[in-house]
Structure 1
Amino acid sequence: MELSIHNNCQGRDWGRVAQIMSHFGLSGAPPEDHKRAFENSYAVTFLYDGEILIGFGRAISDGVGQAAIYNIAVAPEYHGQGLGRLIIEDLLKHVSHCNVVLYTHPDKVEFYKHLGFRRMKTGMALYRDPDMLQEMGFIE
């Protein structure tokens, strides 16, 4: 494996981003929506194996004290190799001065606990499609 990390949005394969996100049921948004979301983020991490985009994530932040991490995904054929951890660690370097909230799939909570994240007792959310997210296990 020939790993490299890129922290900008120039020249990224947004179709591949959409494909990976869709594979895990994280989003059905078209590539241009992902491009806009990543471009409007505080920090981005794109992980490549050679020329192949294999993982990514992004952080939003006020740049002062608060940040949130979203869209952590690794192509399924690369799972179990510590690459998700690599993406998180890279993003955390960019927001090390902040409290960080992480938004994840319910199936991945234990993974993030191993990285030091803790469950919140007071987190609240307002979703556009609460019935679907309740069915998926995101909300009560």
Structure 2
Amino acid sequence: MNIYIGNDCHGRNWEEVAELLKHFGLSNASADDHRQAFENSYAVSFVYDGNEMIGIGRAISDGIFQAAIYNIAVTPRYHGLGIGRIIIEDLLGFVRHCNVILFTHPDKLEFYKHLGFRKMRTGLALYANEAKVEEMGFIE
């Protein structure tokens, strides 16, 4: 493997980003919507093996107190090789001085607990499409 990380949005294949997030049920948004979301983020992480994008993630933050990590996804054939950990550690490098919350698929909670994240008792959310988010299992 020839793993490297890109921390900018220049020259990324947004169709691949959209497909990767859709594959895991994290988003059905368009490639252009994802481009805008990643470009407006505080930090981004694109992991490649050679020329192949194999993982992504992003963080939003005020840069002082609060940050949130979103859209962590790794190509299925690279699961179990530490790529998810690489993405999280890379993003935390930008926001470790902040309180960091993480939004993920309910099936992945144990993975993030293993990385040191703790389940919150005080987290609440308002969603633009509550019915869809409930159907996906993100809210009770």
Interval containing the TM-score (normalised by the shorter chain):
over 0.9
Q: CA deviation at 1:135?
A: 2.5
User: What residue identity is the alignment partner of 2:137?
Assistant: G
Q: Structure 1-normalised TM-score?
A: 0.97
- 2:25 paired with 1:43: no
User: What residue identity is the alignment partner of 1:81?
Assistant: L
Q: Structure 2-normalised TM-score?
A: 0.97
Measure the CA separation in 2 of the matches of 1:137 and 1:48.
30
The gaps in structure 1 that reach 5 residues or longer are none
Measure the CA separation in 1 of the matches of 2:21 and 2:119.
23
The 5-angstrom pairing of residues 61-72 of structure 1 reads 61-72=61-72
SS in 1 for 2:15: helix
Contact 2:14 2:34 in 1 (8 A): yes
Measure the CA separation in 1 of the matches of 2:52 and 2:135.
33
Measure the CA separation in 1 of the matches of 2:67 and 2:25.
24
- 2:85 paired with 1:60: no
Percent of aligned positions that are identical:
66
- 2:132 paired with 1:127: no
Cα offsets for 1:12-34 (capped at 9, x unmatched): 11110011011111111111111
Aligned twin of 1:8: 8
Aligned twin of 2:94: 94
SS in 1 for 2:35: helix
What do you get for the CA RMSD once the two structures are aligned? Answer: 0.8
* Deviant stretches of 4+, over 4 Å: none
The gaps in structure 2 that reach 5 residues or longer are none
Q: CA deviation at 1:136?
A: 2.2
Measure the CA separation in 2 of the matches of 1:136 and 1:41.
24
How many residues are paired up? 140
Measure the CA separation in 1 of the matches of 2:45 and 2:95.
12
Q: CA deviation at 1:131?
A: 2.1
